[in-house]
Amino acid sequence: MNDLITNMPYLLNGFKVTIILSFYSIIFSLFLGVTFGVLRYFKIPFVSFFCACFIELTRSIPLILYIVFIHYTISPYLFNTYNFTSYLGIDSVEMQTALISLTLFTSAYIAEIVRSGMENIDRQQIWDAKSLGFSTFQTVRYIILPVVLAKSLPSWIAQFASLIKDTSLVSVIGLVELTRASEIISEITGKDFIIMFFTLFTYFIICFLLSNLAKYLNKKYNYMNI
């Protein structure tokens, strides 16, 4: 127990990295995923094909491969020269790599959720909106997306819970987040049990709360019958 308390700052530092990464990835992947999903739904030549390729490729490879690929190919050329995310308080190259790869990876899954939600909506609604003089963008913004968002909120939240679990993989490029920090500490102190279980329970509490929120929302929206 003493070892846990003395090494708590280090663990909390790792926890901070986990939280920052998952928070920003959630926000960015939300926008990117909705964009990809909508573009794939409206069958625009080339653009939809590109989106479909991106989504299917991303969904069929492991996240760890994705992170390593971006770490070796994109980040040496891009993030070493330009610092895109300095205004978010993220300045190391590894953090940017992790942020970008987690965002792209999750956005593919979000896009699938959005697309399947949109396909459940009656095409009649789109035609109705068109006949009332809405442009395509307005139709999506005011008619379709609110319903899709409300209906598939539980699966989005489940996806975000799994994103928080997936942040443990960024240690492959040398970032010290909660999992890696607890591994390092347990190797230094030799008190594996208490530290590993502390980490397990930290993840458990966050993800359990999120998945219960998803269950609650599922019940609520089923009841409301949107």
Partner 1 sequence: MYNVDFSILYKSLPQIIEGLTTTIYVCLISFIFAFILSSFITYFRVLKGIKFIENALACLVEFIRNTPLLLQIYVVFKLLPQVGLTFSPVLSGILALSLYQGVYFSEVMRSGIAQIKGEQKNAAYSLGFSSFETFIFIIFPQGLKNVISPLGSQIINLIKNSSLLSFIAVSDIFYISYQKIADDFRIIEYFTLCLILYTSLTGIVLIFTHILNFCLKVKFKEVSFA
User: Footprint of partner 1 on this chain (CB under 8 A)?
Assistant: 57, 60-65, 68-69, 72-73, 161, 165-166, 168-169, 171-172, 179, 182-183, 186, 192-193, 196, 199-200, 203-204, 207-208, 211
Give the count of beta carbons closer than 10 Å to the beta carbon of residue 34. 20
Q: Closer CB to partner 1, residue 130 or residue 165?
A: 165
CB of 9 to partner 1, least distance (A): 20
Residue among 47 and 57 whose Cβ is closer to partner 1? 57
Cβ proximity to partner 1: between 101 and 139 the closer is 101
Task: Indicate the helix (H) or strand (E) that contains 27.
Answer: helix 8-41
For partner 1, the closer of residues 24 and 198 by Cβ is 198
How far is 16 from 167, CA to CA, in rounded Å? 12
Integer Cα distance of 130 and 223 in angstroms: 30
Question: How many Cβ atoms are within 10 Å of 192's Cβ, its own excluded?
Answer: 13
CB-nearer residue toward partner 1: 36 or 105:
105
**Nearest distance from residue 204's CB to partner 1, in Å?**
5
**Closest CB to partner 1 among 88 and 172?**
172
Q: How far is the CB of 62 from partner 1 (least distance, A)?
A: 4
Contacts of 170 (CB under 8 A, 6+ apart): 21, 67, 94, 98, 101, 102, 177
Q: 């960015």: which residue's tokens?
A: 28
- Taking alpha carbons only, the member of 32, 159, 49 closest to residue 103 is 32
Provide the minimum distance between the beta carbon of 157 and partner 1 in the complex, in angstroms, as a whole number: 13
Least Å from the CB of residue 58 to partner 1: 11
**From CA 81, how far away is CA 54, in angstroms rounded?**
26
Residues 6+ apart with CB under 8 A from 95: 17, 20, 21, 85, 175
Residue 74 C-beta: closest distance to partner 1, Å: 11
Q: Is 70 exposed, middle or buried (0-12, 13-18, 19+ CB in 10 A)?
A: buried
